[in-house]
């Protein structure tokens, strides 16, 4: 287990970004690099800071209030009668805990919700409310599940980004395989092969 893994294991996996990083893992990486202090995670609170201090042999610090205050964990619930199906909450949920489709009612998968609260300001009709998180949901298995859901979502978004980039590159490439985008003349072997095949088809038959 790397140092980043061990730090990440002590973070609550809420993925709320209050620490100033895009989730718990990036904050763990910043701590391990020495780029971030250990007192920027409000969901982890004082107990989390003490665990990080013990692991890293650093002094315990008070939670930095610039990153928020320690408070009881919550869960999101959508007031379904008011939901207009805009999908904005799904787009920001870091652990894929919301299901729904465009113009259809959305709902929160309660067991997967970390209470990060990122969906609340995203909702244009204020139909997401926060309820107390049951104590039995604040445990290691739920944190592990949240970590996995976060990683799966990040991987999916990265794949979608790469796919969009590839599609854009293809659109910018002429049929003879030469790139027309300014400053780039990279070969595209697939398109070159397609162009050769097309040229062959167009050759006059003997
Ligand atoms: S729980 Fe929130 S504040 Fe704490 S490390 Fe994770 S993303 Fe950062
Ligand atoms: S449903 Fe809302 S509060 Fe729950 S994890 Fe998703 S974005 Fe966070
Ligand atoms: S952001 Fe609000 S209105 Fe839009 S789908 Fe989510 S809950 Fe419904």
Looking only at the bridges linking them, the beta strands covering 107-108 and 98-99 are antiparallel
What domains lie within the chain, and their CATH numbers? 3-67 (1.10.15.40), 72-177 (3.30.70.20)
Q: Is 146 in the pocket of ligand 2 (CB under 6 A)?
A: no
Could you identify the atom of ligand 3 that is nearest to the CA of residue 79?
Answer: 7
Residue 186 in this model has a pLDDT that exceeds 80: no
Distances (CA, A) of 6 to 14, 60, 119: 16, 17, 29
**145-169 per-position pLDDT tens digit:** 999 999 999 999 999 999 999 988 8
Cut 0.75: pTM above it: yes
Q: Which helix (H) or strand (E) holds 76?
A: strand 74-78
Look at ligand 3, atom 8, and give the residue with the nearest C-alpha. 83
| Lining residues, ligand 3, CB within 6 Å | 78, 83-89, 100, 106, 122-123, 125, 127-128
pLDDT category at 187 given cuts 50, 70, 90 is low
Look at ligand 2, atom 5, and give the residue with the nearest C-alpha. 113
CB-based contact 83:101 (threshold 8 Å): no
15 alpha carbon – ligand 2 mean position (Å)? 9
**189-203 per-position pLDDT tens digit:** 656 666 676 676 666
In testing the pocket of ligand 1, which one of 7, 8, 11 has its CB within 8 Å of the most ligand atoms? 11
**53-80 per-position pLDDT tens digit:** 999 999 999 999 999 999 999 999 999 9
Residue 13 in this model has a pLDDT that exceeds 70: yes
pLDDT category at 102 given cuts 50, 70, 90 is confident
In testing the pocket of ligand 1, which one of 12, 69, 142 has its CB within 8 Å of the most ligand atoms? 12
């Amino acid at each position: 287990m790397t140092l980043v893994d061990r730090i990440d294991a002590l973070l609550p996996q809420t993925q709320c970004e209050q620490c100033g990083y895009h989730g718990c893992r990036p904050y763990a990486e910043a701590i391990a690099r020495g780029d971030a202090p250990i007192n920027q995670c409000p969901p982890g609170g004082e107990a989390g800071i003490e665990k990080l201090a013990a692991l890293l042999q650093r002094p315990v610090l008070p939670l930095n209030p610039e990153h928020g205050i320690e408070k009881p964990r919550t869960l999101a619930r959508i007031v379904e009668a008011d939901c207009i199906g805009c999908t904005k909450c799904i787009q920001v949920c870091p652990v894929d805990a919301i299901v729904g489709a465009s113009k259809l009612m959305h709902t929160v998968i309660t067991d997967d919700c970390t209470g990060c609260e990122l969906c609340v300001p995203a909702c244009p009709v204020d139909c997401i409310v926060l309820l107390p998180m049951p104590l039995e949901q604040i445990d290691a298995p739920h944190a592990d599940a949240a970590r996995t859901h976060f990683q799966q979502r990040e991987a999916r978004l990265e794949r979608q980004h790469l796919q969009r980039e590839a599609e854009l590159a293809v659109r910018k490439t002429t049929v003879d395989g030469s790139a027309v985008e300014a400053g780039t003349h990279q070969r595209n072997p697939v398109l070159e092969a397609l162009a050769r095949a097309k040229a062959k088809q167009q050759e006059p038959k003997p």
